[in-house]
Chains A and B, each alone.
Chain A
């Protein structure tokens, strides 16, 4: 698969990745390279295996076969303890935010610091306030997760994801179910944080305009394989029929509008055998 830029090295290299549940194959020989310091989007229709790729990169799922190298280390062969150590270098923003519901905003963001560092309370307070300020929610530090809107919850989760200054951030459907203002805030934050903190970002999404606006590169996943990849504008103009249908939101095409079903007329009992008087 393409290595997009010769100037940037790849933080993640995925080769011949296969994954499935029992007899259903979800990913079938996927090759992906994520360049350092850039925003790369992994897109595709619902059920195409995008979130599965995220969970495989985070080591939450075990690949059936293939290699996932993050910073040169193969995630698929790591022990449970090594995996937990490796995850400290990553931040993941879940679709729901996944805030700890029994902790206020401040403690949610402070959680990774309290667990992994021995910083003093005043130092933790300063770091948390800096991160909350970066997402615009310093004033919401005392609120409980139940008191936050969906967009605010994701911003708090983003502050928590960057609190340990990771190298890599994985965003799982960051724009799903958000109002236009929240989408604007989140896409601005993703782009701004990526360059300000020198991060590498992977955005898993099926929201084409919002994702295309912030992504440097796009991978389109369809039927368990990479259908196309490359710089954003090139993928948007792709001539591959599956990619074209997805990127332009066409209702019919290689992904058919109709779910496979028996013949419509016979299903309604309108064929000539059930109604002999019906004209053939």
Chain B
């Protein structure tokens, strides 16, 4: 069967993916009209392009609907509980860099580290009658991080956008969100805790262990891996 490769369907991440392949001599061409989500990968026999929203690529890989895919490490780790068991990370691509960080209001001079947040959470709950709220869309990653740091008495509030504004709007007391330069955090009077880096993420090329790896798919992967210079990268099923 054809080797199905999932790429982000639009935007900067897609442009960077296309450039990454181009640097390695592989042309990815959009086909059809400007608004049609279709394209093809040239020069690799038996490979087919699947354009998906970057946030849907982890699930497509976990379900084996695509053999390969490029998306953010943060999305994979957040969405796929046992991601390492279901996907293999073939290459880190050096773009799409984003840090998932834990941030609190800058005027909280008493809170410098994650463990300060735990002490504050206890006092906050006693005073306000509810648990300290942390706004994020990365529930699994944040919960795992806080558990590892022994933080209790907090509550995650789902925030799918404009997370930095939730503190000012009194919807949350702290946030965990993606940042690249920290400018948006600073503009919203927030600071990152000194040990508050939850994940340093970048775009990566993943392979799906659960996809159908027949001889054709293996042959296409071998050809692609050779062209991309992915040596020793074979975290695939037997």
Q: Do A and B come from one complex?
A: no
